[in-house]
Amino acid sequence: RGKEIRKNAIKWKDLAREAVDEGQGHINPMLQFAKRLVAKGVKATLVTTIFLSNSVTLSDPTSSIDLQTISDGFDQGGFAQAKSPHTYMSTFKSVGSQNLASLIKKLGETTRLKFDALVYDSFMPWALDVAKQFGLLTAVFFTQSCAVNSIYYHVSKGTLKLPVEEPNVSIPGLPLLQVSELPFLLYHYGLYPASFDMIVGQFSKHEAADWVLINSFHELEKEVIDKMPEIWKLGTIGPTIPSMFLDKRLENNKDYGMSLLEQNTSTCMNWLNSKPNGSVVYVSFGSMAELGLEQMAEIALGLKESNYYFLWVVRKSEESKLPNNFKVEIGEKGLIVAWCPQLEVLKHESLGCFLSHCGYNSVLEALCLGVPMLAMPQWADQATNAKHVEDVWKIGIRPSLDEKGIVRKEVIKQCINEMMQGEMGKEMKKNADKWKNLAREAVDDGGSSDTNIDEFVSKLVCV
């Protein structure tokens, strides 16, 4: 019974962390989109839940974005406070929609703000009904790649049946996908029913929205975007990387958003500054992935025995998995931090490549800063992203797994060598630079995403 209770406790701890981190992963792109709207002369109000607002601080106190909060019914503990994920989702829907409606009404009365449109996250389809009550235009905002959304869309329509029984899956506009290259929830079908409902629920009302906005850019996912015309009422508005990382004219502006954790900025930047150009491997598995002990040890040894410097983000909760004495043994060769300013790290000239779990934000960031990748997906959408990194965008490789699903240290060393010095590495770097330029062009004046944002803005009465 004790074991059972501990298992449940761990499950709830994971779900709680997932709720906050996923929330931030969704707020960040929305915040950056709001900033682009403001740059076009639109007034933007960003609404988040009371619980999440405690872990979100805008780093730009003079921001022209108005930050407002509503209760989701769980102000003290968010997701973890609810008895189950289903309770959370249904309470968020009922309490959240009432509170969102009250907020729109209140702001209309007290500030004389007249809203024209509601841009809402795809995980809260009920926001469409709130917007319609007020006669607002509606835009559903998808934070993940078009490829991943396309797969989920086909599941929701029943054109991709679960459980998948064939070894390969064919989706229009996508390369043939092995089952293990689908998003984790689909090949572990049935394990997380609430998350599954949330994913499929994204498509319950999106056809009624005036626009569908995707955090991608047309050049990046042309094939799949062009195959899905019926849900694309406007299209791509990304990448939602802070403008100062895409536009040289803005690069001295440091107020680019918000951070989840203490970033150890000066430690990281001083250390990187002391390293030669292209000599450092940056390693991060994002805000959520939890590696097994064996995998952690193989990465540690692979990095230690490789010929390159490394900066490794090991979150506090993962630190005890490092081999004994590892930090001492590596000396100046490696720096381990609990969290870092990732965009600034990726932009640093000492960087050679990025060993990553392939969370969508990390992939977009590497791509926008021209950094080639070693792709080690763990769960969520990461396997599909990693497939694109290697086979579609050709900016990285996936180190092979052994029969236990572990990437061994020899493979890690060999892939790092290849990426830092080999012909393949040069090719990947060239491709990454190509995508970097295309991403910049997409959000630059007259680019594909910029034009879509202009079109959206032109429909707003207030502009």
Catalytic residue ranges: 26, 121
- In which residue are the tokens 């934000």 written? 361
CB of 313 to ligand UDX, least distance (A): 4
Tell me: does residue 138 bind ligand UDX (CB under 6 A).
no
Report the C-alpha gap between 346 and 349 in whole angstroms. 8
Tell me: does residue 313 bind ligand UDX (CB under 6 A).
yes
Is the Cβ of residue 24 or residue 97 nearer to ligand UDX in the bound state?
24
CB of 359 to ligand UDX, least distance (A): 2
Among 73, 96, 235, 359, binds ligand UDX (CB under 6 A): 359
Q: Phi then psi for 337, rounded to 5 degrees?
A: -130, 160
Tell me: does residue 360 bind ligand UDX (CB under 6 A).
yes
Distances (CA, A) of 424 to 66, 333, 357, 363: 47, 24, 20, 19
Tokens of 367: 């791509």
Site string for ligand UDX, 324-353 (x = CB under 6 A): ---------------xx-xx----------
* All residues at 6 or more sequence positions from 163 whose CB lies less than 8 Å from its CB, including other chains: 189, 190
Tell me: does residue 142 bind ligand UDX (CB under 6 A).
no
Kindly determine how many residues on this chain lie close enough to bind ligand UDX according to the rule CB under 6 A.
Answer: 22
Q: Which stretch binds ligand UDX (CB under 6 A): 57-65, 116-124, 283-291, 304-312?
A: 283-291
Complete DSSP assignment for 266-313: HHHHHHHHTS-TT-EEEEE-TTT----HHHHHHHHHHHHHSSSEEEEE
- Alpha helices, DSSP H, located in 333-460: 342-347, 360-368, 382-387, 409-421, 423-443, 448-458
Is the Cβ of residue 108 or residue 292 nearer to ligand UDX in the bound state?
292
Q: Which stretch binds ligand UDX (CB under 6 A): 1-9, 153-161, 360-368, 405-413?
A: 360-368
Tell me: does residue 365 bind ligand UDX (CB under 6 A).
yes
Is the Cβ of residue 219 or residue 365 nearer to ligand UDX in the bound state?
365
Is the Cβ of residue 73 or residue 377 nearer to ligand UDX in the bound state?
377
Tokens of 352: 């050679």
Report the C-alpha gap between 1 and 398 in whole angstroms. 41
Is the Cβ of residue 31 or residue 300 nearer to ligand UDX in the bound state?
31
Is the Cβ of residue 131 or residue 343 nearer to ligand UDX in the bound state?
343
Going by C-alpha positions, the residue among 339, 324, 463 that lies closest to residue 21 is 339
Among 27, 34, 209, 380, binds ligand UDX (CB under 6 A): 380
- 37 in Cβ contact with 44 (< 8 Å): yes
Sign of the dihedral through C-alpha 411, 359, 218, 224 = positive
* All residues at 6 or more sequence positions from 185 whose CB lies less than 8 Å from its CB, including other chains: 191, 192, 195, 196, 199, 380
Among 15, 22, 130, 314, binds ligand UDX (CB under 6 A): 22
CB of 114 to ligand UDX, least distance (A): 34
- Alpha helices, DSSP H, located in 46-123: 50-53, 85-110
Tell me: does residue 215 bind ligand UDX (CB under 6 A).
no
CB of 366 to ligand UDX, least distance (A): 9
Tell me: does residue 147 bind ligand UDX (CB under 6 A).
no
Residue nearest ligand UDX (C-beta atom): 359
- 202 in Cβ contact with 226 (< 8 Å): no
Half-sphere exposure of 294 (CA within 13 A, CB side): 7
Report the C-alpha gap between 375 and 444 in whole angstroms. 29
Report the C-alpha gap between 356 and 364 in whole angstroms. 12
Cross-strand bridge partners of residue 351: 280
User: Can the peptide bond before residue 163 be classed as cis, meaning omega within 30 degrees of 0?
Assistant: yes
Site string for ligand UDX, 24-63 (x = CB under 6 A): -x--------------------------------------
Site for ligand UDX in 108-127 (CB under 6 A): none
Tell me: does residue 284 bind ligand UDX (CB under 6 A).
yes
Site for ligand UDX in 159-198 (CB under 6 A): none
Tell me: does residue 372 bind ligand UDX (CB under 6 A).
no
CB of 362 to ligand UDX, least distance (A): 3
Q: Which stretch binds ligand UDX (CB under 6 A): 151-159, 173-181, 324-332, 375-383?
A: 375-383
Tokens of 33: 């989109």
Is the Cβ of residue 308 or residue 360 nearer to ligand UDX in the bound state?
360
Q: Which stretch binds ligand UDX (CB under 6 A): 81-89, 127-135, 302-310, 357-365?
A: 357-365
Tell me: does residue 144 bind ligand UDX (CB under 6 A).
yes
User: Which residues of the shown chain bind ligand UDX in the complex (CB under 6 A)?
Assistant: 21-22, 25, 144, 284, 286-289, 313, 339-340, 342-343, 359-362, 365, 380-382
